[in-house]
Amino acid sequence: MPLKQELEWTLVACGMVALADGVLKGGEASRVLDMVHEALPPAERDEWIDLISDRERLLAHVATLKPPPADSHERLLRRAWSIALVDGEGSSDEARVLEQIGERLGIERGHVITLRKLWTSEAIETAGHVASFAALLLHRRGAAAPNPGKQLAPPDREQFLQLLARMPLSEARRQRLHRLMDESPTVEELGNTLLWLGPERRDEVLRELATHIRTGGHGPLGRQLFLALAARMAVHDDAARAYLDPA
């Protein structure tokens, strides 16, 4: 069955950004492949994975596509740029590819640059919230250990530092977040912070937190803390569980 235009363009755009340096690798590869698995039935996944892994084929494919509906342009560009931010702040090559996709959609380069800067700023904010939740999770896990302590154990500290290294953060911001290894926020404090966000931003942050739980293998404790946080934000239990178990 043919894909809807927006979905096909989203997958293609994300693949193009992920292949900006010529190779599909690292966290970007994982995020794109996760998108394929979430969006497509099993019978169609292998074909799309092969396509997204081959830059020349992907460019040839996008040349055959008709532009998607205008109201989807910024949405799919934002999804594409989110791939660039998985492993850092986004490279100049990735920014250039995003501008090329925007040009293909009829969006002026200056407007794409403005949007990219806004999305990067929001991604930095989201990274701080994810780091806070990750620290809370690791501290709770450490408190349940045979010899609990206020500070994270060395393996947990290393895990947290690796998480920060993959985030779109400057070194100065990363250093400031190191304090979370010694003292994390409570569910109530994090929930209060997220309540200040607008509805769309809260939804984005909750999706990122749920992704962190699923991809990090944090199991029952991660789910328990996520549901407690959602409850603090007055998110209905069914809606909260839908973040954790997307259809």
Say if residue 176 is in the same domain as residue 63.
Answer: no
| Token digits of residue 204 | 């984005």
Say if residue 187 is in the same domain as residue 92.
Answer: no
Q: What mean pLDDT is predicted for residues 44-66?
A: 91
Say if residue 81 is in the same domain as residue 19.
Answer: yes
Specify the amino acid at residue 48. Answer: W
Q: What gap in Å lies between CA 14 and CA 6, rounded to an integer?
A: 12
Say if residue 90 is in the same domain as residue 155.
Answer: no
Say if residue 80 is in the same domain as residue 176.
Answer: no
| pLDDT > 70: percent of the chain | 96
Tens digits of residue pLDDT in 69-95: 999 999 999 999 998 888 777 889 999
The answer to whether residue 169 sits within a structural domain is: yes
Q: What gap in Å lies between CA 246 and CA 139, rounded to an integer?
A: 27
Rounded to the nearest angstrom, the gap between the alpha carbon of residue 181 and the centroid of all alpha carbons in its chain is 22
Tens digits of residue pLDDT in 129-167: 999 999 999 999 877 655 555 678 899 999 999 999 888
Radius of gyration, alpha carbons of the chain? 19
Say if residue 139 is in the same domain as residue 103.
Answer: no
User: Are 13 and 77 spatial neighbours (Cβ–Cβ below 8 Å)?
Assistant: yes
Give the burial string for 89-125 (b: 16+ CB within 10 Å, else e).
ebeeebbebbbbbbebbebeeeebeebbeebbebbbe
| Burial classification of residue 30, based on how many CB atoms lie within 10 Å of its CB (0-12 exposed, 13-18 middle, 19 or more buried) | middle
Q: What gap in Å lies between CA 106 and CA 100, rounded to an integer?
A: 10
* Of 14, 55, 54, nearest in space to 37 by CA: 14
Residue 240, helix vs strand vs coil: helix
pLDDT for res 210: 94
Residue 68 belongs to domain with CATH number: 1.10.3680
Q: What gap in Å lies between CA 64 and CA 190, rounded to an integer?
A: 46
pLDDT for res 177: 95
Residue that the structure tokens 């904010």 belong to: 125
> Of 80, 107, 134, which closes a domain?
107
Say if residue 58 is in the same domain as residue 10.
Answer: yes
Q: What mean pLDDT is predicted for residues 41-49?
A: 89
Say if residue 139 is in the same domain as residue 191.
Answer: yes
Tens digits of residue pLDDT in 169-196: 888 889 999 999 998 889 999 999 999 9
pLDDT for res 1: 41
User: Are 179 and 152 spatial neighbours (Cβ–Cβ below 8 Å)?
Assistant: no
> Of 51, 79, 107, which closes a domain?
107
State the residue range of the domain holding 46. 5-107
